[in-house]
């Protein structure tokens, strides 16, 4: 898929998307929203202050994709630690997660919602595709959402480093992972060109 972002005069970015591309990005963003889940206030709608004072979880998520999106803050998988240091590291990560994960989830949720809303507006006024124009603020939301989508897909594909990405190019066409790989690589191209539009 050849679409790439280009800078707009005065800031922001634009990209031409066809109907299939719009549908793919929107579907992935909706899946990301479902994965992230509702905010704390949605679990307690009668209390408007619930989200403000709600503490987040203290343990890492069980789902590997969510662990990639919300990693432990103080864990270094390459560090060699003794039992005491490892326990201290887990305690620090747990405390940090308790007070930050809800805000991180809310931010990721808002970015994914911004993608869905902008694509819905675009699709409503187009047939066969259209040019999506984003303000500088919306561009940053898209950039964050594209990053989250790539992290999620990369986690499902077991991509841990650049060498894994190189292997994806050599997958045979009949490999069941091929559609997911194509989406991962395409989103990477979009992300890269969007980054370049935001650089001064």
Q: What is the mean pLDDT of the chain?
A: 82
Query: Among 49-58, 64-73, 165-174, 188-197, whose mean pLDDT is lowest?
Result: 49-58
Domain-located, residue 121: yes
41: containing domain: 11-198
State the burial class of residue 119 (Cβ atoms within 10 Å of its Cβ: 0-12, 13-18, 19+): buried
Give the residue from 114, 134, 110, 130 showing the smallest Cα distance to 122: 130
Q: Contact at 8 Å (CB) between 119 and 25?
A: yes
Task: Kindly state whether residue 6 falls inside one of the protein's structural domains.
Answer: no
Percent of the chain's residues with pLDDT above 70: 78
pLDDT tens per residue across span 27-45: 999 999 999 988 655 545 5
* pLDDT greater than 50 at residue 1: no
Mean pLDDT of 176-196: 92
pLDDT digits (tens, 9 = 90+) for 68-103: 888 877 666 556 667 777 677 666 667 777 777 788
- Quick check: is 4 in a domain? no
pTM for the predicted model, two decimal places? 0.81
| Overall domain count for the chain | 1
SS3 readout for the chain: CCCCCEECCCCCEEEEECHHHHHHHHHHHHHHHHHHCCCHHHHCCCCCCHHHHCCCCCCCCCCHHHHHHCCCCCCCCCCCCCHHHHHHHHHHHHHHHHHHHHHHHHHHHHHHHHHHHHHHHHHHCCCCCEEEEECHHHHHHHHHHHHHHHHHHHHHCCCCCHHHHHHHCCCCCCCCCHHHHHHHHHHHHHHHHHHHHHCC
């Amino acid at each position: 898929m050849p679409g790439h972002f280009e800078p707009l005069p005065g800031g922001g970015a634009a990209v031409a998307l066809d109907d299939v591309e719009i549908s793919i990005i929107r579907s992935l963003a909706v899946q990301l929203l479902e994965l992230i889940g509702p905010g704390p206030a949605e679990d307690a709608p009668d209390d408007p202050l619930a989200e403000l004072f709600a503490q987040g979880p203290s343990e890492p998520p069980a789902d590997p994709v969510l662990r990639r999106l919300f990693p432990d803050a103080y864990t270094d998988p390459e560090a060699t630690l003794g039992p005491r240091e490892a326990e201290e590291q887990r305690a620090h990560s747990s405390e940090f997660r308790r007070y930050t994960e809800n805000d991180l989830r809310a931010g990721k949720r808002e970015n994914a919602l911004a993608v869905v809303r902008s694509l819905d507006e675009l699709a409503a006024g187009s047939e066969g595709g259209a040019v999506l124009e984003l303000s500088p603020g919306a561009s940053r939301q898209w950039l964050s959402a594209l990053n989250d989508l790539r992290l999620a897909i990369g986690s499902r594909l077991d991509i841990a480093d650049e060498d894994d990405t190189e292997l994806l190019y050599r997958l045979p066409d009949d490999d069941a992972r091929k559609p997911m790989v194509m989406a991962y690589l395409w989103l990477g191209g979009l992300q890269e060109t969007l980054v370049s539009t935001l650089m001064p």
